């Protein structure tokens, strides 16, 4: 699996040109992208990155990438990020690592969103991976109940880690929503956003420009969505 992720990350790094300001996503496949960017910077590449999480910020800084904040740029030429699931139309579930809010904001500020993933992330229909929904802590149980009562999903669990409630970089909670499958990702995204207390969802609908899919033998497949 690491060979597949490394292949996707390395290929995505080759798409980054000198002088670009880019968004840098989060996750295990993005790790390889950042490492390869660091190698290219050692060889003379000059870029600026906007990280999507504190973990990404740390790794990117260690790799020699010059960093800035989203408020400091007018736009990003491209963002490279991972995904937990990708359907045939390029719609995504993201947020398994908990950075969905910043990931979506950075993606929305980008002219192009390139998703990198191993082949296991490509699915016929979204929904097997639990959908993360970021919520404010105040009244989160009521938000949880409203999602359950809406009939939008089978089960809603408050995310925990090491027997403690998981806290995002922006001090929010995450509700993981379980489905059999998601038939209408666009409608579901809107429906969840209408519930007061929901900050963001892990549904990235019609945002990806392309995907770089890595395979175990080190080959990649490039898929264009728009």
Q: Which residues are catalytic?
A: 103
User: Could you give the count of Cα atoms lying within 13 Å of 128 in the half-sphere of its Cβ?
Assistant: 10
- Within 13 Å and on the Cβ side, how many CA atoms surround 145? 4
CB atoms within 10 A of CB 41: 15
Q: 3-class SS at 51?
A: strand
Q: Strand pairing of 48-51 and 21-24?
A: parallel
Residue 39 near residue 74, CB atoms below 8 Å: no
H and E: helices and strands count for the chain: 6, 16
Length of the chain: 226
In which residue are the tokens 């990708």 written?
Answer: 86
CA distance 20 to 45: 10
CA 189, CA 194: separation in Å to the nearest integer? 9
Q: Quick one: 171 exposed, middle or buried, by C-beta within 10 A (0-12, 13-18, 19+)?
A: exposed
């Amino acid at each position: 699996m690491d060979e597949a992720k490394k292949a996707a990350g390395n290929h995505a790094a080759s798409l980054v040109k000198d002088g670009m300001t880019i968004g840098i996503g989060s996750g295990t496949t993005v790790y390889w992208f950042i490492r390869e960017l660091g190698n290219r910077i050692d060889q003379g590449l000059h870029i600026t990155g906007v990280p999507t999480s504190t973990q990404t910020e740390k790794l990117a800084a260690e790799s020699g990438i010059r960093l800035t904040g989203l408020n400091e740029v007018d736009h990003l030429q491209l963002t490279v990020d991972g995904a937990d699931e990708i359907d045939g139309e390029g719609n995504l579930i993201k947020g398994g690592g908990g950075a969905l809010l910043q990931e979506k904001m950075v993606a929305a500020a980008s002219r192009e969103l390139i998703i990198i993933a191993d082949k296991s992330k490509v699915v016929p229909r979204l929904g097997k991976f639990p959908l993360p929904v970021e919520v404010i802590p105040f009244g989160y149980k009521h938000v949880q109940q409203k999602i359950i009562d809406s009939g939008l999903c089978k089960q809603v669990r408050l995310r925990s880690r090491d027997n403690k409630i998981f806290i995002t970089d922006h001090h929010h909670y995450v509700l993981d929503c379980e489905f059999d499958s998601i038939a209408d990702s666009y409608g579901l995204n809107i429906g969840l956003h209408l519930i007061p207390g929901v900050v963001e969802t892990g549904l990235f609908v019609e945002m990806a420009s392309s995907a770089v899919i890595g395979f175990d033998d080190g080959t990649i497949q490039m898929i264009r969505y728009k």
